[in-house]
Amino acid sequence: MFESLTNKQQRYLAIELLVVVVLLVIWLFIAPLWKVQGEYAEQASDLRFQLSKYEQVISNKRVISNNKTELQTSLKEARLFHDNLAHGVVAAQVQNTIREIVEKSQGSLVSTRILPEKQEGQLTRLAINVRLTGDDLVLQQLLFDLEMARPLLLIEKLTVSSRKRSRRRNSGSVGAHNITLEIASYLMRDGA
């Protein structure tokens, strides 16, 4: 079949076959290598970026350490947490503070109960269950005073139930409520 072609046709056919073979070699060998090289270059770029971030953190270690120390100092100065006291002492202080707040708001303290302490990260959570009676103004004043207290006294749970009133009483009168609170405070150790 090739013998019936002219010399010019044979040369064109040879050139076309050569071009097909070259394209086939490029498609089978060079393109995958190019793709792999591109993926490796992208991974190398990502690793260089991560390395530069790590080097930046290492160079800023002293600054970060100073910032941490300043933050710990400002946290202690803000008196948000109890600091380096025994758990029983903190619980007694919290109970005393709650008693003073209830008396100030003219409520009637029924009982306080210390709940088991829980470790939460570097802080120890101390909770007190408080039961008292009072009207709406007592509850409002109590919540305000608890919010303003230092070290922090956080209300974890709040239950308010009204006492039953007789039907003969004037419906416009303000009744007393049974109020149950779970109040938490936190103890911070020096290592925190």
The three state secondary structure string of 113-137 is EECCCEEECCEEEEEEEEEEEECHH
Could you tell me which residues are beta bridge partners of residue 109? 132
pLDDT at 175: 67
Could you tell me which residues are beta bridge partners of residue 186? 125
Asked which of 16-20, 75-79, 143-147, 168-172 is least confident by mean pLDDT, the reply is 168-172
Q: How far is CA 107 from CA 136, 153, 178, in A?
A: 10, 18, 10
Mean pLDDT, range 82-108, rounded to an integer: 87
Cβ(79)–Cβ(93) under 8 Å? no
Q: How far is CA 112 from CA 58, 72, 154, 183, in A?
A: 50, 32, 15, 10
| Arithmetic mean of pLDDT over the chain | 85
pLDDT at 44: 95
pLDDT at position 18 over 60? yes
**Most confident listed range (42-46, 160-164, 176-180):** 42-46
d(CA 152, CA 146): 8
Cβ(187)–Cβ(82) under 8 Å? yes
